[in-house]
Chain A
Amino acid sequence: MNIAELAVGTEIGTRTIEISRADLIKYAGASGDFNPIHWNERFAREVELPGVIAHGMFTMGAAVQLVTDWIGDPSAVVSYGTRFTKPVPVADLEGEPGAVVTVVGVVGALDSDAGTARIDLTVTLDGQKVLVKAQATVRVT
């Protein structure tokens, strides 16, 4: 990827993330985050959630794959941050995903001295943003 070929506003791609309850169990195991709000419906409702919700870190971690696949080297991501604004409820459905999140990436800023590009991710569930200011800075030289 050559920084001279990039322009602010260019879309790098889109991706949909299908999420099932099994995905949340897998993420819990791989990350060590066993908070029951991510796998126990009864517990989630007791703490006034609409039901089982995805780990914010699952959504954040899955969303950035759009960037790593585009840049071609996962270690090119020098920084990545987001705010978590809305929970992603994951329904327990037979044969279909419990939630589908959409990710769109756009070049938000270029720094030719540093050799980096900031990719701004718009991450939505049913048209509503679930991550706000999701930005990844990648090395592009």
Chain B
Amino acid sequence: MSINPELQGRSYQLNDVYSVGRESIRDFARAVKASHLAHFDVAAAQALGHADLIAPPTYAIIVAQRADALLINDPESGIDFSRVVHAEQRFTHHKAIVAGDELVAELHVDTVRGMGGGAMITTRAEISTVDGVAVATTVSAILVRGEGQ
């Protein structure tokens, strides 16, 4: 099955609220070998002016990939997840992600470009709090390899 070119311009709403917890921030920080105290110790985060533990700079990928999954799992997309390669990633932070945040996202399929039998797809997740405060914009390029690629 090939990639549906009509995906370009579509958007998906991730309505499952992602609740950012302290242990999730600590686990993610350990997983990327981040040792800054503001990921582990509430007093250290507060000393930097934050309300609670702050997430490492790539933490928003958790929410972004949940949003990407809405596209990948859409039966109309034609994307075979086992042939997906992450080609590019960018984060723009509008505010720090802090323990206690409740996050949602809107995913936009910005470009779909056919490449051989596969395609390069660029998606953008606009991540915000449930109250509508902009948190981060993430842009991902994924390469869906065609047969023999």
Contacts and interface: CB of A to CB of B under 8 A. Distances in A.
- Could you tell me the dominant secondary structure of chain B's interface residues? mixed
A77 B54 CA distance: 12
Contacts of B89: 56-57, 60, 81-82, 84
A14 to B, nearest CB: 15
A27 B93 CA distance: 22
Given A65-B33, A75-B48, A84 B27 contact: no
Contact of A17 (B33, B35, B61, B90): B33
Contacts, number: 108
Chain A interface residue number, banded:
20 to 34
A60 B58 contact: yes
Contacts of B61: 31, 57, 61
B88 interface: yes
Contact of A31 (B50, B65, B90, B93): B65
Contacts of A82: 88-90
Contact of B56 (A17, A74, A79): A74
Given A27-B32, A69-B36, A73-B48, A32 B57 contact: no
Contacts of A123: none
Given A57-B86, A68-B34, A79 B93 contact: yes
B96 interface: yes
B12 interface: no
Interface in B92-145: 92-93, 96, 139
Contact of B91 (A67, A81, A83): A81
Contacts of A61: 31-32, 34, 56-58, 61
Interface of A: 17, 23, 26-27, 29-33, 35, 47, 56-58, 60-62, 64-65, 67-69, 73-75, 77-84, 136
17 contacts: A23-B33, A26-B30, A57-B61, A57-B86, A58-B32, A60-B58, A61-B57, A62-B34, A65-B33, A65-B35, A65-B36, A68-B36, A74-B57, A75-B54, A79-B90, A80-B91, A81-B90
